[in-house]
Structure 1
Amino acid sequence: MTTGRISAGIMPIVSEGSVADAKIGVRLASRLPARTDDSDLRELTSLAVQGDRSAIESLLGELRPMVVRYCRARLGRVSGQYHIADDVAQEVCIAVLSALPRYRDMGRPFASFVFGIASHKVADALRSSVRSAVPTQDLPDGPDERPGPEETVVRYIEVEHARRLLARLPENQRELLLLRVVSGLSAEETGNVLGMSPGAVRVAQHRALARLRQMAELESA
């Protein structure tokens, strides 16, 4: 299995709510947008809770990109339908807006409160997608571009193989790959989450992928 296939195989793992994915949510919750520091976000949150309309708009403007990225990582790359992930992200923002008057600062980042809502909305969307996946007799509007049985099997094998290899990595390497490959964070954003420089993130990612490739080659030898 090549490094590219390993990376592609890792991406769908996020859909199954693994422990590693839960850790991503926690890490993302503690990450603040680059243009807003801790004190600014706390002040925005305090004003928003008091009903300041300008603060509410600014707060949602800061948080929405993170919410969209999280929902796309959990839903878009699984279903291939990014508009669904974006709709869920919008639902999260609306839910946050509705919950603001009841929010109480308990010493944790406000983003953790937001991602708690996001995780529930994503779980609801996943359950809904399973229930709605019922075959119909309707004729397709165009060519069926879904993968065929053979491609589906190959993808499943690659995902399972990547899952096993990923589980054998040290936790720090596994978490870094999940942030970079699954959540799609840039090297700089991943560094903000893990407390590393962008250069260190790139070096660590290269080493982690090299280790995965080595393990894959040993298995296939």
Structure 2
Amino acid sequence: MTARLPTHFMIIYALLLFVDGAAPLAHSDVDEPDLIGRAIDGDTEAFGELYMRHLNAVYRYIYFRVNDVQDAEDLTEQVFLKVWEALPGYKQMGKPLRSWIYRIAHNSVMDFYRRKQQSEKITAEVLAWENESVNVLDEIIEVEEAHLLARAINELPDEQQELVILRFIEGLNHEQVADILQKSNGACRTIQYRALATLNRLLSDQRIAAL
């Protein structure tokens, strides 16, 4: 039976990242599958290494989704506690660990908004996909200030916002994003197309307002 990880384990690791003047913790050269196996056997040190490898990306993803530091910190801790508790069943799923953790983070954010009684807007229509959409975002990033882009991303509908974060900020591929969002590749491509079109419009509006 897998040992239960104390809650303070997560808090200590998180604090180590933000202690003033503390040196960053180096990752070991141990392969991730080996760390996963040891963590499943109850090795908290191995899980700590996995935690450190994925913490920043998970926190960043959650922060973009909830736009609040305290909520993002709380949800990130909850996500890794869920990861620890669910690890024994992970290998049977056949998914990359990163995608699996993002799926848990996605569900945690959805639960967070349900608790706040905020409705989620879901659209899954399949439209024609434009292959140049990735280049569109690259051009936007090149010509716009980072804070303007961040503001525009925050104005996207929830589903579009999440896809942009996963696809372009976290760098996941279409298959990984589709798995996390539990949608078909076609639906995700449609959401991405709409998100990029909306970003283009929002940034154009911001440019006009700045004149």
TM-score normalised over the length of structure 2: 0.46
TM-score normalised over the length of structure 1: 0.44
